Structure 1
């Protein structure tokens, strides 16, 4: 049986990145979006990933970015994957020579099949909670029953996940991966090793 992968996003410190890996996560996420409290500069990101062991995916999160910023981060930080969390077009997402996936904020009338078709070159769709004016990091879950069982793309489930509800999410949605940020924090932008360990253990139940 294929296990659900874990990405811990919003990493701002090297010790948190290493803690995430020790907890058993598969990927870490770096936020390159200045309005976010978890935003990092390219220089900070370089420090975060400097001591990572091999086989850990490093994902860069962007919201309607300047293309040069994305290219710089890919080259200088060594991103292995890019997550687009804004209104980026398929053409925009396709221009970088790296794997990428598209975040979709899910509402009752969101046509996820249409997104999968439009973003046909995406490696996956990340499904997050819709909140007006907030591109992500809401800390709130959405109605998981809105996710079709026959989506032709791997699903990365996000939005309000934490140790207390992620096992239920995995059981109900059967996503390829789950993505957590605020749900494993000790305080804003600072991760809790205990919460990261608990989160991964709940996913693997």
Structure 2
């Protein structure tokens, strides 16, 4: 099971997360309490291993700004967390992760045609488009409706429920941000425990044919 730790704002936490086994690190460039500056993100990424995914989170940003930031800081993937169209996604030169807020009227089948390899299933919208720590009813969906996509599960995940979530959804990756924080700051102990539990899941990563984490 692959794990993404999102909302990273300092090098110490990024390195620790990777040492614990994180496969992807997320940087938020949209409005958020975890928003990071371009120079800071560039500094952190310059110290990260090549094989680790570096994901930038954007919400309804212009193509020009996304491309500029991604190139400057060294992102490997762009996560679109707003109302970006299929045409917009296709126009970007970086691989796209399309984040979907799991509202009750959402039909997953409609996302199949979206031009991206990864689809991130997040909790309902809160104050921000992501990272609100809100989960959704995992029993209400089936990743069979997203054939051909690598499914990243996010929204309300934490060390207490990540194993259950993996067994029910069987995603390609899990993504966490607020679930590994204490008093609004990343907690290294929680990050380590979360990664250990996610990667120790007996069923994790066994159904990559339904390919799909965090914010």
Tell whether the structures are fold-level matches, with TM greater than 0.5. Answer: yes
Provide the secondary structure at the position in 1 that maps to 2:112.
helix
What corresponds to 1:146 in structure 2?
140
- Helix, strand or coil: the match of 2:174? strand
What are structure 2's unaligned runs of at least 5 residues?
A: 201-215
Q: CA RMSD in A?
A: 1.3
- Equivalent position to 1:158, from 146, 154, 157: 154
Runs of 4+ in 1 over 6 A off after TM superposition: none
Residue 82 of structure 1: SS of its match in structure 2? Answer: strand
Shift of 1:21: 0.2
Change (3 A) 1:89 1:199: same
SS of residue matched to 1:196: helix
Matched, 1:203 2:198: yes
Contact 1:108/1:146, CA 8 A, preserved across alignment: no
Aligned twin of 2:33: 37
Q: 1:123 to 1:149 in 2, by over 3 A?
A: closer
Partner SS state of residue 204, structure 1? helix
| In 2, Cα distance between equivalents of 1:124 and 1:149 | 12
User: With structure 2 as the length reference, what TM-score do the two structures score?
Assistant: 0.88
1:146 Cα shift? 2.2
Aligned length: 198
Q: Name the SS of the counterpart of 2:42 in structure 1.
A: helix
Matches within 5 A, 1:89-104: 89-104=85-100
On the 8 A contact 2:24/2:55 being kept in 1, the answer is yes
Cα offset, 1:134, TM superposition:
3.4
